[in-house]
Structure 1
Amino acid sequence: MPLLIFAVTGMGGIGKTALAVEAAYRAHGKGWFPGGTLFVDLRGYDEDPVTADQAVVALLDALGVRDRDLPTTPERQHDTYRALLAERRDRMLLILDNASDPSQYLPLLPGTDHHRVLITSRNRPDALAIRLIDLETLAPDDSVALVTRALHATDERDERPVREPEALRALTDSCGHLPLALQIAAGMLRRRRHRDIASLVAEVKQADDATAVLDHGSPGTDLYGRSLVLRPVLETSYRRLSADQSRLLRLLCLAPDAETGTAAVVALAGLETDVVLALLEDLAAAHLVASAPSAAGSAADLRWRMHDLVRAFGAGVVARDAELREEGEAARERVVRFYIGRTYAASRLLSVPQGDQGPFTDRAQAVAWLDEERAALVAAVQWAREEQFADTAALLADCLASYLNWRRHFDDAISVAKAAGEAAHRAGDRHREAGVLNNLGIALSQAGRAEEAIAAHTRARDLFQDIGDRGEEAGSWGNIGNALDGAGRAKKAIAAHTRARDLFQDIGDRRQEAWAWNNLGVALRRAGRTKKAIEAHNRAIKLFHAVEDGLGVANALGCLGNAQLRQGDADKAINAHTSARILFQVAGHRHNEAAEWGNIGNALERAGRVEEAIEAHGKSLEIFQELEDWYGQGVTLDHLAVAHKNVQQPARARSAFLQAADAFTHANAPTEAARSRACAAEQWSARTRHS
């Protein structure tokens, strides 16, 4: 049986009516509906919506039934309407526009499957089996094209879109790619034709709510006589919500990011999960939020996204009411505390991938959750700049640091550390400020900003000195040494690590003394003082054994192997790295185990055992793939490529270099990716020469 009813649904301003009318014109042009088109605006979101009884009178009038021919009662009017449609041989299209409730359109459906019906609504109609067409916002390129066409339609000499492509994209982003907002923005640009696009972008960015700027400059009405204003569209949708639905919408507008997981929404709302899910589904049916599956859990762990203009509107509603502001602050406090608990549990699984970690069944699930919530977590830390969240958001920053550096999101790591540091400084918490400065220095160092890293660690050291915390002061000296090493300042790095070692010796912290010896060994090796480096690593191993720190022993053995390989003793290096790998494997430290497989591969290759080296690198790659560590994959693939190159296998070497480039691209490491691509091109030339 052919489909009788279609429904175009989407949020207010998405372009439902425009699409329906355009479809009707095109269908008429193709002769699909020789009986014509009936259109009625049900004004479902106005204060006084059109009822089915009112609509049927308008439909009968369009069918030629009016004045004395019009039946006197609603029942007879509906009967006449259905009879006329049943009698019509020529197929018709009936457009029931802007419906908000099934009671508006159910009585208007034809009593025959000969005709077709197109309903538009902000709510998904579920009273009948209807083919739904959900409209989404425009793609960024389409948004740019819409505004450009609108300007050129008025004046084809308007060169602003060509002259200011970045400003135009920024404007369409500010409009959330919503067609109604884009139309308004285009109208404003037409009116201010002697001003550049950047001036409008600046006005929108300066406003807390973009709708205020756009509505203030709205050019009036569209082709259908409808007002081109945003806020009334959002207000009418908001007013139709129940008290519980509107409360959840307001709180969701206060979430740190536009996209939020179910568990975080539950924390915001302070309600049971099943209650929150039901409310979220209601909001999704009204196209005020959109759902997407989560990679981090079950079907209940959906992701919920809100349009930027809806978020701005809801936040504005809260800002204007003292009671709602108080309710909102409590919700934000709940969600920050939720994020702290989840992030702490997830970050522990990055370093200790075994054991019970609350909501996460394994490391992969924890990483998936961190990846999905990263934007929200980073945004929540920025709340540390507000006095009431200074402590909680700064604690969240501590929980996030290791993950952001591991995933190489260095810009986020730096932003998070700066926000937490500013909060600690304002609160006069010098100990926390110094700790955050160390986190900042580590992120800066890994981002290649060595001098800034040295400055951050030096400020941390000075604060710890003033406080009188000699242990933390020693740790900062070690961090300064690492940053100096990264800057290529070997002598100063050795001096800093020596200072750290001496301080740990003075206070009797043997475990940290062992780490200082190990760091000193790394700096000595990089300075070319290999014999001294080996002595330092052996000293570290003895100390780690003395304090029964097996993981410390494994780390020191790995560093010892690197020094031995640098000295030219490949066999000793293989033994050291193998011992380290076994210790990491027993402890369940898969990441370090993978790294040691790679080190074994490098040592085997130096010993001339290339096939064994390729096998070792393959095992390293398998683990990094399991851990979804893209940077580790890139490094290992590079090593594999070199091994293939050394046994005259240019095709395999090229393939491995290209895979390495892809992995480095995923890992936000463009320099390494470019280098790997250049090596791949070199291998292509080598393959051609051998051919």
Structure 2
Amino acid sequence: MPVLNPAADSDLPVLICAVSGLGGIGKTSLAVYAARQAVRNGWFPGGTLFVDFRGYDDDPVTADQALVALLDGLGVCGTDLPQTSASQYALYQALLDERPSTLLLFDNASDPAQLTPLLPGTDHHRVLITSRGRLTALDARLLDLDVLTPEAAADLLTKSLQLTDPRDDRVLREPKAVAELGTLCGHHPLALRLTVGMLRERRYRSIGSLAKELGGDGDRMRVLGARPVLEAAYGQLPSDQARLLRLLSLAPTAEVSGEAAAALAGLSDSRTLTLLEGLAAACLVTPVPVAGEDVRWRLHDLVRAFGADLVSGDAELRKEGEGARERVLGWFVRWADAADDRLRWLPGMPVPERFGGRGEALAWFDGERAGLVAAVGWGREERFAREAVRLALCLAEYLAWRRYFDDWIAVAEARREAARRTGDRLDEAGAWNNLGNALREVGRVEEAVQAHTRARDLYQDVGDRSGEAGAWSGLGLALREAGGVEEAVQAHTRARDLFQAVGDRTREAVAWNNLGVALREAGGVEEAVQAHTRARDLYQAVGDRTREASAWNGLGIALEQAGRVEEAVEAYGTSLEIARECEDWYSAGLALYNLAILHQTAGRPAQARPAYLEAANAFTRANAPADAADAQSAADALT
């Protein structure tokens, strides 16, 4: 596609090509082929960046989620990832501005809103999009991809069979049967590929015999040319493979891990892997390599729809399918609970099963996230509501840590509705509180205040003092961001008192630290020193080193405002030491920046400048370019 060449003339600020067509028509194959050719031609020294938006799944990828994947492709991940969406988008555009010509391949999009925030702001990049619908809202060159011509369909069948075995002369002996197969498949590339697989398996049978078997009805699959092929392919499967295919079509997402597939099937991992490999050989599932040696397994949309249709039309198969869904939901809950325990683990707590460290737990969550989030949505069905509520509870810490705020909101809302369905007011209160936290993170502060207030009232009604304390804590944070500092002080004070009463020292420490921030903003500096000191001592007592660094930093700010400069220097230094130990580079940057300001205010520019430079370096490691620039500018001003 010469139009992709960045050197080609264009009237558009960023040249976008959008390929549209039916599912399985070959859009992705065409786009990937064009991308490879363009890179081979030397058009894109910056290479390609690829995102599958899963636009027609139940859980399409949002722009914010895609942004995290794109930044990962640009080398920004983990602790290097900026903490806010605005900072992430700013960093993404800055990196593209500096990058040589790059091709962005956005696959399987359904809504321009998924794409618009991700379009580069410079004209030396190109964007190639695939979608089932025509994305007319975009300023893009549109290419509609239709089914193959009869000649191209016959050529695909011929070349594919002879590639496998040059001695296979059936296509030469049966040209009419080849043409008939193409017609039966609707000249649809997916159906044709499935047909090739069947012909390869039945090497010694005529093409005409398969064409005779592929008579079908007139439903959607038949129109696409896929249903007769899928029915025939399904009919040839051994019973255990056929069962697994049906159950895979009921999974929360089209792509699953081997372990999730095993849970659906109720079989061992090794047995399930054997069956999956058989289905892959029949072109009914696609293995998708991921990090390390792992493989995930994806059903094409048409195959998934076919399997779900089989199940819905048979009472026994529906019963079998419900059992599979119960198993996989139980599997999700078990391991999400263990992974969540690992994320929340502190010295003295029981060691969670399976996950040897925080990194392993995060990796598991990362791999299963789409399925986990989609499975919470099963709570709309009464039989799955209670387990869906449990699963949502296990996801909150992870989604907050990874800053998947859209998912966090969706999960909290699904949990709230499922709790209402079961009549569990305690679970509903927890859902409201988590929803408030997620809403606050995306700037919907007034809604967050309302959510935390609703959570507080429900906790009070059911007499759960610990839950009420958590709601007061979240309410205090939302009120402070909404400008109600005095109200925030009262809310955090109430949270602190309740946590003390129930003996929860870890969350009491959080309440003290939040109270310290609110007191500082309200002008109560000495009270803030006491609050941060108490938070620090409690964090030390429970062994929470990461949050201890935050308490030391807050204490330093309060001490500095109180005029206790040398003590503030010591507090910032301790915060910096712990942050470096925990590889929390953003907290390290904050401590260094605050320390530099202190030195500058005290008239010690020789000490302030290196602290600013170190802060700039720490912020750079944390991929916080705006903060790094501020620190560098402050250092330059002291030269």
Q: TM-score, normalised by structure 1?
A: 0.58
Matched to 1:417, the amino acid is A
Candidates 639, 643, 647, aligned match of 2:627: 639
Deviation at 1:381, TM superposition (A): 0.4
Q: Deviations over 1:508-527 (max 9, x none)?
A: 66665444332211112233
Distance in 1, Cα, partners of 2:458 & 2:205:
76
Q: Distance in 2 between matches of 1:649 and 1:252?
A: 62
Change (3 A) 1:306 1:512: closer
Q: Which has the higher contact order (CA 8 A, sep 6+)?
A: 2
Paired AA for residue 291 in structure 1: P
Aligned to 2:60: none
Equivalent position of 1:439 in the other structure: 434
Q: How does 1:80-479 map to 2 (within 5 A)?
A: 98=196, 100-102=198-200, 105=203, 214=220, 218=223, 229-295=225-291, 298-299=292-293, 301-352=294-345, 358-360=353-355, 362-479=357-474
Q: Distance in 1 between matches of 2:201 and 2:367?
A: 40
For 2:361, the aligned partner's letter is A
How far apart, in 2, do the equivalents of 1:333 and 1:24 lie? 41
Aligned equivalent of 1:141: none
After TM superposition, give the deviation of residue 42 of structure 1 in Å. Answer: 5.5
Judged with a 3 Å threshold, the aligned counterparts in structure 2 of structure 1 residues 356 and 263 are, in CA distance, closer, same or farther, namely: farther
> What secondary structure is seen at the aligned counterpart in 2 of 1:303?
strand
Letter in 2 for 1:253: S
Corresponding letter in the other structure for 1:601: L
Residue type of the alignment partner of 2:519: L
- The Cα shift of 1:574 comes to 3.7
The 2-side partners of 1:12 and 1:514 are apart by: 55
Which has more radius of gyration?
1
Q: Is the 8 A contact 2:596 2:609 kept in 1?
A: yes
Q: How do residues 605-644 of structure 1 correspond to structure 2 at under 5 angstroms?
A: 605-606=596-597, 607=599, 608=605, 609-616=608-615, 618-619=617-618, 622=621, 633-635=622-624, 637-644=625-632
Aligned residues: 456
1:430–1:254 Cα change, 3 Å: same
Q: Report what 2:168 is aligned to.
A: none
For 1:338 and 1:520, the matched residues in 2 are separated by 39
Q: How well do the aligned residues superpose, as a CA RMSD in angstroms?
A: 4.0
In the alignment, which residue of structure 2 is the partner of 1:524? 519
1:536 and 1:490 mapped to 2: Cα distance?
16
| Maintained 8 Å contact 1:475/1:500 | yes
SS of residue matched to 2:237: coil
The aligned runs of 1:553-568 (5 Å cut-off) are 553-565=548-560
Q: Relative to 1, partners in 2 of residues 1:480 and 1:13: Cα closer, same or farther, differing over 3 Å?
A: closer
Distance in structure 1 (CA, Å) of the matches to 2:319 and 2:496: 51
**C-alpha distance in structure 2 between counterparts of 1:236 and 1:435, whole Å:** 49
Q: Distance in 2 between matches of 1:548 and 1:21?
A: 69
Distance apart, 1:292 and its partner CA: 1.3
Is residue 612–residue 634 contact of structure 2 (8 Å, CA) maintained in 1?
no
**Structure 1 residues 303 and 489: CA distance shift in structure 2, 3 A:** same
* Structure 2: distance between partners of 1:23 and 1:308: 22
Residue 342 of structure 1: how far off its partner (Å): 2.5
Compared CA separation, residues 570 and 292, structure 1 to 2 (3 A): farther
CA distance in 1, matches of 2:296, 2:281: 15
The answer to whether the 8 Å contact 2:509/2:539 transfers is yes
1:329 Cα offset (Å) = 1.3
Task: Report the CA distance between 1:365 and its aligned residue.
Answer: 4.2
**Residues 353 and 459 of structure 1: CA distance in aligned 2, closer, same or farther (over 3 Å):** closer
Q: CA deviation at 1:649?
A: 9.4
Residue 611 of structure 1 deviates from its aligned partner by 2.2
Displacement after TM superposition at 1:238 (Å):
1.4
**Match of 1:600, as an amino acid?**
A
Equivalent position of 2:55 in the other structure: none
CA distance in 2, matches of 1:571, 1:540: 20
Deviations along 1:75-134, one digit per CA (max 9) or x if unpaired, are xxxxxxxxxxxxxxxxxxxxxx857244755699xxxxxxxxxx99x9xxxxxxxxxxxx
Bigger Cα displacement from structure 2, 384-393 vs 229-238: 229-238
1:399-446 C-alpha deviation (Å, 9 max, x unpaired): 111111222221111111111111111211111111121111111111
Deviation at 1:372, TM superposition (A): 2.9
- In 2, the alpha carbon distance for the partners of 1:634 and 1:400 equals 26
Which of 494, 498, 510 aligns to 2:493? It is 498
Aligned partner of 1:600 among 569, 591, 601: 591
Secondary structure of the residue that 1:237 maps to in structure 2? helix
How far is 1:545 from its partner?
Answer: 6.4
Change (3 A) 1:640 1:548: closer
Offset of residue 528 of structure 1: 4.3
Superposition pairs for residues 660-671 of structure 1, below 5 Å? Answer: none
- How far does residue 21 in structure 1 lie from its aligned partner after superposition? 3.9
Residue identity matched to 2:632? H
The structure-2 alpha-carbon separation of the partners of 1:437 and 1:529, relative to structure 1 and needing over 3 Å to count, comes to same
What does the per-residue CA deviation read over 1:339-369, in whole Å, with 9 as the maximum and x for residues that have no partner?
A: 2233233334445599975444554443333
Q: Pick closer, same or farther for the CA change 1:389–1:544 going to 2, 3 Å.
A: same
1:40 lines up with 2:138 in the alignment: no
Cα distance, 1:496 vs structure 2: 1.5
- C-alpha displacement of 1:281: 1.2
Code of the residue aligned with 1:40 in structure 2: it is P
1:383·1:393 contact (CA, 8 Å) conserved in 2? yes
2: CA distance, partners of 1:24 / 1:406 = 50
Is 1:605–1:643's contact at 8 Å kept on the other side of the alignment?
A: no
**1:340–1:396 CA contact under 8 A, matched in 2:** yes
Structure 1: which amino acid aligns with 2:295? L
One-letter amino acid of the structure 2 residue matched with residue 342 of structure 1: W
Distance 2:301 2:460 in 1: 46
Per the TM alignment, residue 460 of structure 1 is displaced from its structure 2 partner at its CA by 0.9
Tell me how far 1:307 sits from its aligned partner. 1.1
Structure 1 position 41, deviation (Å): 5.7
Q: Identify the residue that residue 7 of structure 2 maps to in structure 1.
A: none
- Which deviations, in whole Å up to 9, do the C-alpha atoms of 1:447-493 show, x marking residues without a partner? 11111111111111111111122232222112111111122221221
CA–CA distance in 2 between the matches of 1:325 and 1:364? Answer: 38
CA distance in 2, matches of 1:284, 1:472: 48
After superposition, the C-alpha distances for 1:542-575 in whole angstroms (9 at most, x for unaligned) are: 5666788777655432321233355576653342
Describe the shift of the 1:529–1:323 C-alpha distance in structure 2 as closer, same or farther (beyond 3 A): same
In the superposition, relative to structure 1, how do residues 544 and 324 fare at CA in structure 2: closer, same or farther (>3 Å)? same
Letter in 2 for 1:638: A
Once the two structures are TM-superposed, the CA of residue 505 in structure 1 deviates from its matched residue by: 5.1
Structure 1: how far apart are the matches of 2:429 and 2:205?
70
1:187 corresponds in structure 2 to: none
User: Would you say 1:578 and 2:566 are equivalent positions?
Assistant: no
